[in-house]
Amino acid sequence: MTALLRRYRFIVPYLLLTPGLIWLAIFYVYPSVQMFISSFWSGSLERGFTFSLSNVHNYTDALSRYQDQIVRSIFFAAAATVATFLISFPLAYTIAFRAGQYKNLLLFLVIAPFFTSFLLRVISWRTILGDDGLLLGPLKSAGLVGDDVRILATPVAVIAGIAYNFLPFMTLPIYVSLEKIDKRLLEAGQDLYATPWSAFRKITLPLALPGIFAGTLLTFIPAMGDYVNAELLGQTPGTKMIGNVVQSRFLVNNDYPTAAALSFILMAGILVAVAVYARLLGTEELVSSAG
Amino acid sequence: MTTAALESAVRSPGTPVQRIRRWLGHNALFVYTFAAIVYLMLPIVVMILFSFNRPAGKSNFAWREFSLNAWLNPFAPLGLSDAVIASLRIAFVSTIVATILGTLIGLGLTRYVFRGRAATNLIIFLPMATPEIVLGASLLTLFVSIGMARNELTILIAHIMFNISYVVVTIRARLAGFDRRLEEAAMDLGATEMVTFWKVTFPLIFPGILAAAMLAFSLSIDDFVITNFTAGSTVTLPMYIYGATRIGVPVQVNVIGTIIFGTAVGAVVLSTLLQRRDRAA
Amino acid sequence: MSEQHPTLVTRAMTRRRMLQGTALAGVAAFLAACGTAAQSATPSAAPSEAASTAPSEAPSPSPAASATAKPSPAAELNFANWPLYIDQDSSNPPKSPTLDGFTKKYGTKVNYRESISANEDFFGTIRPALQAGQDTGWDLVVLTDWMAAKIIGLGWVETLDTANTPKFVANESDNLRNQPWDPDNNKRAPWQSGMTGLGFDAKVVGNQTATAAIWQPDPRWKGKVWLLNEMRDTIALTLLKLGKDPATATNADCDAAIAEIKKAVDGGIVRSFLGNDYKEQLIKGDLVLGFAWSGDIIQAQLERASLKFNIPSEGGMLWTDNMLIPKGAAHKYTAELMIDYVYDPEIAAQIAAYVQFVSPVKGCKEAIAKNADKSVAALAKNPLMFPDAATLAKTHIFKALSADEDKYFNDQFSTLQGN
């Protein structure tokens, strides 16, 4: 067996990849191609849809009609990603280096919220963020904020909701990359660089970059396409994102061509963003670590 | 945390600056971590609290009085137990399958140079960049076009599909920069490739696999959009709850949420304790 | 890759307008029993087995009407409904007296699934099968009137053999019959109905009786007003406020309503467009005034007693959730038996006492009033469950929009909501 493997070494990667890729080819690639074709449809549910390449204007129409939501999605997703990073990094750092016997427990607590239904969490958040809820209620009675201040139905609520939702996607990869740093490297670094800060900056941070990169993408990408938070915490015209438009075009208006075109615009936008981000961070290895 | 450390260093002159900084640095980190955990747990605390409510009507939004009612009869609402069981079953199976498939891909991508890497990367990446509604709708179109009835199996297929990418990405973060010399050393010492994998490679990547599996499980048990499209007559817990909002989410849903949460915490605490005992022994 | 819907174009919907006033008188009554754990599961009056000319069941998906073999109930019935939308007791395992009664009577196992959480979402899940001419897997589904109208318009439902549903024919509330989108009254049977009007917290905003209040930037409710995300409800109440009739709405009327709503949104008065979750925020006090569904307010009153529901002076709406048999359903005859079964006033009372919407079944009120449990019997006096003729006279029904109009209205309304 081993000898055989060694002889046909070049086959090994394909053996590893094949089962998963076949799955994705049948259940992702093929249906997506069908969906891509539908972005060149014209017509309606009632009259039927017809395919024509000239319907490429579905894309330009969608871009110009929904530019507000597109810009808003980028902004919300970026803000949420930054917030998530600011919360996650120290958290992951603690878990990786300082948690000792509580490491597993802390790691688990990061994911724990997601073992409960998102709807229950949203209802909880509405209770907490309500106009007279746990957060604003005391502030209002203390006179620290005005009576008409609210968080729900504002961009803040949506960004906070997205940040909460995708926190483990940031924390876990950062933790994973921090955890495998050789502790002796850090000790040596502290000896050499004298201050913990510069040791951190010159050793820990660079070694954590693959995790940060993966975490950023894992947060930013689904955040761009998210509609649940805007739907349940935003609920107002000024907070709707591109995902809400896809949802509504698809389900409410049965406008499948526009929904499909918008989806592919979203995916293309994400690909471009990833490429630019990878270029900025520098290495090819990073690009591939994003998958 | 450095700013905080600096300030206190200034306020307490005469002591070795570096030690204070480090000490405060550590504590600031713990305070921060504690705050982050509170932030994460807050909605869960509210959820648990409301599992002990006795609401006047069918919805459970305003606190009225303490009661164990829902706890004594957690599966009272029609269809709730079926939904919970279906969700757990789907989450377990899809996590196992997706973790295996994803880990294999992760290994293949990080450890070998081969033709088609770029294309593979793209195929792994795209499902995460696709809006859920598009994934759900296009899968449903596929199932209908091949005449496949929608049931738990189709939900499983969908969950495995979207979980694979997340598993791959988590595993790769673990494998990136993996020190291959450890494996080479093992082989130099006479270990076969298989033995090296199980004795050296696997233990090293295991935390990554575990993290990936946890992520996959949580994604699966909480998915609504894609499940809704591929479910047929199966009802999962998120579908039940989403639909129940029309009349009112029953208190029992909070109880179930608390039980699932508690079971998972219990398991982790137990394993931590066992590990500690092993180490002490 | 093109999809064709030949059936669609030909199925123009009739626009017969409902004569509101006359129909109302017959609304009458309802309901009933239930409440106690030991309810009698079997209806007192068994549906007649007279349906000898009905089509035979099962093997062929769409049996020809000419079949004369005596049908027999199928072994199972796949019934999709909204969660908590049927009576249930809290025994372990939970049971629904209504469903158990059906099983006892016909020997049919009811695969009752609470699979429907939103009209659009559910339609999205059955559409591909319907479009491909396949069985959706469901024999009976419950959808709101406008969605029912859309699916009927697409030609994707089975026509009821009313010989199998004598109780539905006899007991359906008069004001719900012959909807413009089901002129022959044989494509759907109302499951529950209800009214759309003003919901508010009287303790905060006082007693509001006019839709116009929503356009006043009163500090008591500014920024705490919601509108429904159901296009027909919100547009219709706004049209009524503008003095226009939703039964004859045109695209221009739609534009006028959208412009009017936009004023309230831009003025910072309206905070959100919501589905059923307005109820939660109303109970919590984040919202105090808006468009509401009657049954929701009955439920919410239990948690916040100061909540009130009024049919606005400008007029309110009447809606129904309807049972439909999707095209190609495997157990059409058994589905018809179920429709007939729930139109028994005793059974209707059992359901209504639990769900507390407006029952579409005549005799339901009387049946509920006879209930041994006083708190259940008292429901017969609840004006939100059993509205009087004067209340119903103020309600309207949305016209059956043509496919183009439907698209236009929905487009405008989506844009208004920011999606």
For residue range A159-177, what is the model confidence (pLDDT) as tens digits?
999 999 889 889 988 988 8
The C-alpha atoms of residue B265 and residue C2 are separated, in whole angstroms, by: 51
Q: Residue C196 carries which side chain, given as an amino acid letter? A: T
Q: Is some CB atom of chain B closer than 8 A to the CB atom of A266?
A: yes
Q: Answer yes or no: is C88 within a domain.
A: yes
The token pair at B244 is 């129940």
Verify whether the Cβ–Cβ distance C9 to A47 is below 8 Å.
Answer: yes
Residue pointed to by tokens 């719900």? C176
Averaged pLDDT of chain B: 83
Q: Same domain for B103 and B216?
A: yes
Q: Same domain for B56 and B182?
A: no
Q: C179 is in which domain, residue-wise?
A: 18-193+319-375
Q: Answer yes or no: is C152 within a domain.
A: yes
Q: Same domain for C217 and C259?
A: yes
pLDDT tens for each residue of B252-277: 999 998 998 888 888 777 877 777 77
Q: Same domain for C260 and C406?
A: yes
Mutate one of A45, A64, A126 to test the C interface: name it (highest C CB count within 10 A): A45
Residues in chain C within 8 Å Cβ distance of A150: 223, 286
Confidence at residue A68, expressed as pLDDT on a 0 to 100 scale: 94
The C-alpha atoms of residue C411 and residue A46 are separated, in whole angstroms, by: 15
Verify whether the Cβ–Cβ distance B247 to C84 is below 8 Å.
Answer: yes
Give the confidence band of A253 by pLDDT, cuts at 50, 70, 90: confident
C-alpha closest to that of C141 among C113, C165, C161: C113
Verify whether the Cβ–Cβ distance C8 to A47 is below 8 Å.
Answer: yes
Overall average pLDDT of the A58-72 stretch: 94
Q: Answer yes or no: is B36 within a domain.
A: yes
Confidence at residue B165, expressed as pLDDT on a 0 to 100 scale: 92
Q: Same domain for B109 and B157?
A: yes
HEC string for chain A: CHHHHHHCHHHHHHHHHHHHHHHHHHHHHHHHHHHHHHCCEEEECCCEEEECHHHHHHHHHHHHHCHHHHHHHHHHHHHHHHHHHHHHHHHHHHHHHHCHHHHHHHHHHHHHHHHCCHHHHHHHHHHHHCCCCCCHHHHHHCCCCCCCCCCCCCHHHHHHHHHHHHHHHHHHHHHHHHHCCCHHHHHHHHHHHCCHHHHHHHHHHHHHHHHHHHHHHHHHHHHHHCCHHHHHHHCCHHHCCHHHHHHHHHHHCCCHHHHHHHHHHHHHHHHHHHHHHHHHHCCHHHHHHCC
Q: Cβ distance C241 to C211 under 8 Å?
A: yes
Report the sign of the C-alpha dihedral through residues C46, C114, C349, C325, in that order: negative
From B21, B52, B71, give the residue that closes a domain. Answer: B71
Q: Answer yes or no: is B108 within a domain.
A: yes
- Lowest-pLDDT range, A23-32, A68-77, B53-62, B157-166? B53-62
Q: Which residues of chain C have pLDDT under 70?
A: 1-70, 90-94
Verify whether the Cβ–Cβ distance B169 to A118 is below 8 Å.
Answer: no
Please list, in sequence order, all residues whose beta carbon lies within 8 angstroms of the beta carbon of residue B221, skipping any fewer than 6 positions away: A114, A115, B87, B88, B90, B91, B237, B238, B260
Q: Answer yes or no: is C82 within a domain.
A: yes
Smallest CA–CA distance from B112 into chain A, residue: A13
**Nearest by CB: B105 against A16, A173, A228:** A16
Give the confidence band of A78 by pLDDT, cuts at 50, 70, 90: very high
Q: Estimate to the nearest angstrom the gap between the alpha carbon of C86 and the chain centroid.
A: 13
Q: How many domains does one find in chain B?
A: 2
Shortest Cα distance, chain A CAs vs residue C191, angstroms? 23
DSSP letter (8 states) at residue B53? B
Smallest CA–CA distance from A83 into chain B, residue: B36
β-partners of residue C320 are C193
Please state the pTM of the whole predicted model.
0.82
Verify whether the Cβ–Cβ distance C273 to A51 is below 8 Å.
Answer: no
Confidence at residue B51, expressed as pLDDT on a 0 to 100 scale: 93
Q: Answer yes or no: is B103 within a domain.
A: yes
Using CB atoms, list chains with 3+ pairs below 8 Å to chain B.
Answer: A, C
C-alpha closest to that of C39 among C84, C87, C85, C83: C87
Shortest Cα distance, chain A CAs vs residue C224, angstroms? 10
β-partners of residue C310 are C198
Q: Is some CB atom of chain A closer than 8 A to the CB atom of C128?
A: no
Confidence at residue B64, expressed as pLDDT on a 0 to 100 scale: 83
Q: Residue C118 carries which side chain, given as an amino acid letter? A: A
HEC string for chain C: CCECCHHHHHCCCCCCCCCHHHHHHCCCCECCCCCCCCCCCCCCCCCCCCCCCCCCCCCCCCCCCCCCCCCCCCCEEEEECCCCCCCCECCCCCECHHHHHHHHHHCCEEEEECCCCCHHHHHHHHHHHHHCCCCCCCCEEEEEHHHHHHHHHCCCECCCCHHHCHHHHHHECHHHCCCCCCCCCCCCEEEEEEEEEEEEEHHHHCCCCCHHHHHCCCCCCCCCEEEECCHHHHHHHHHHHCCCCHHHCCHHHHHHHHHHHHHHHHCCCEEEEECCCHHHHHHHCCCCEEEEEHHHHHHHHCCCCCEEEECCCCCEEEEEEEEECECCCCCHHHHHHHHHHHCCHHHHHHHHHHHCCECCECCHHHHHHCCCCHHHHHHHHCCCCCCCHHHHHCEECCCCCCHHHHHHHHHHHHHHCCC
Report the sign of the C-alpha dihedral through residues C218, C223, C224, C227, in that order: positive
Residues in chain A within 8 Å Cβ distance of C153: 46
Task: Delimit the domains of chain A by residue range.
Answer: 53-289
Q: Cβ distance C353 to C368 under 8 Å?
A: yes
Q: Residue B141 carries which side chain, given as an amino acid letter? A: T
Q: Same domain for C56 and C115?
A: yes
Q: Same domain for C210 and C269?
A: yes
Shortest Cα distance, chain B CAs vs residue A146, angstroms? 24
**Nearest by CB: C92 against B73, B145, B231:** B73
Q: Answer yes or no: is C2 within a domain.
A: no
Verify whether the Cβ–Cβ distance A236 to C274 is below 8 Å.
Answer: no
Overall average pLDDT of the A71-95 stretch: 94
**Nearest by CB: C411 against A38, A41, A253:** A253
At residue C89, φ and ψ (nearest 5 deg) are: -100, 170
* Number of other residues whose CB lies within 10 A of the CB of residue C405: 15
Q: How many domains does one find in chain C?
A: 2
Verify whether the Cβ–Cβ distance B114 to A90 is below 8 Å.
Answer: no
Q: Is some CB atom of chain B closer than 8 A to the CB atom of C365?
A: no
Q: Same domain for B25 and B134?
A: no
Overall average pLDDT of the A117-133 stretch: 86
Which CATH number among 1.20.810.10, 1.10.3720.10, 3.40.50.10440, 1.10.287.3510 corresponds to the domain A53-289? Answer: 1.10.3720.10
Residues in chain C within 8 Å Cβ distance of B61: 279-280, 283-284, 303
Overall average pLDDT of the B222-239 stretch: 87
Q: Same domain for B57 and B120?
A: no
C-alpha closest to that of B211 among B106, B90, B110, B111: B106
Verify whether the Cβ–Cβ distance C419 to A148 is below 8 Å.
Answer: no
Confidence at residue B23, expressed as pLDDT on a 0 to 100 scale: 67
**Nearest by CB: B228 against C86, C121, C275:** C121
Residues in chain B within 8 Å Cβ distance of C134: 144, 147
Q: Same domain for B131 and B236?
A: yes
- Lowest-pLDDT range, A67-71, A92-96, B135-139, C315-319? B135-139
Residues in chain B within 8 Å Cβ distance of C352: none
Smallest CA–CA distance from A207 into chain B, residue: B177
Verify whether the Cβ–Cβ distance C271 to A153 is below 8 Å.
Answer: yes
Q: B110 is in which domain, residue-wise?
A: 78-249
From B23, B46, B71, give the residue that closes a domain. Answer: B71
The C-alpha atoms of residue A133 and residue C32 are separated, in whole angstroms, by: 39
SS3 B169: helix
Confidence at residue C43, expressed as pLDDT on a 0 to 100 scale: 35
Confidence at residue A4, expressed as pLDDT on a 0 to 100 scale: 62
The token pair at B194 is 């298989």
Verify whether the Cβ–Cβ distance C283 to B59 is below 8 Å.
Answer: yes
Do β-strands C225-228 and C289-293 pair in parallel, antiparallel, or remain unpaired? Answer: parallel
**Nearest by CB: C83 against B140, B229, B247:** B247
Interface of B with A in 81-120 (CB under 8 A): 101-102, 104-105, 107-109, 111-112, 114, 117, 120
Would you say residue B233 has pLDDT above 60?
Answer: yes
The C-alpha atoms of residue A41 and residue A55 are separated, in whole angstroms, by: 6
Burial profile C292-330: b = 16 or more Cβ within 10 angstroms, e = fewer: bbbbbbbbbbbbbeebbbbbbebbbbbbbbbbbbbbbbb
Q: Answer yes or no: is C174 within a domain.
A: yes
Confidence at residue A5, expressed as pLDDT on a 0 to 100 scale: 59
DSSP letter (8 states) at residue B200? I
C-alpha closest to that of B57 among C347, C307, C292, C31: C307
SS3 B269: helix
Smallest CA–CA distance from B145 into chain C, residue: C132
Q: Same domain for B118 and B43?
A: no
Q: Is some CB atom of chain B closer than 8 A to the CB atom of C133?
A: no
The CATH number of residue C291's host domain is 3.40.190.10
Maximum Cα interatomic distance, chain B, rounded to a whole number of Å = 79
What is the complex's ipTM, to 2 decimals?
0.85
From B44, B71, B98, give the residue that closes a domain. Answer: B71
Residues in chain B within 8 Å Cβ distance of A85: none
C-alpha closest to that of A224 among A152, A150, A277: A277
The C-alpha atoms of residue A209 and residue A287 are separated, in whole angstroms, by: 11
Confidence at residue C45, expressed as pLDDT on a 0 to 100 scale: 36
Verify whether the Cβ–Cβ distance C82 to B246 is below 8 Å.
Answer: yes
Q: Is some CB atom of chain C closer than 8 A to the CB atom of B229?
A: yes
Share of chain B above pLDDT 90, in %: 27
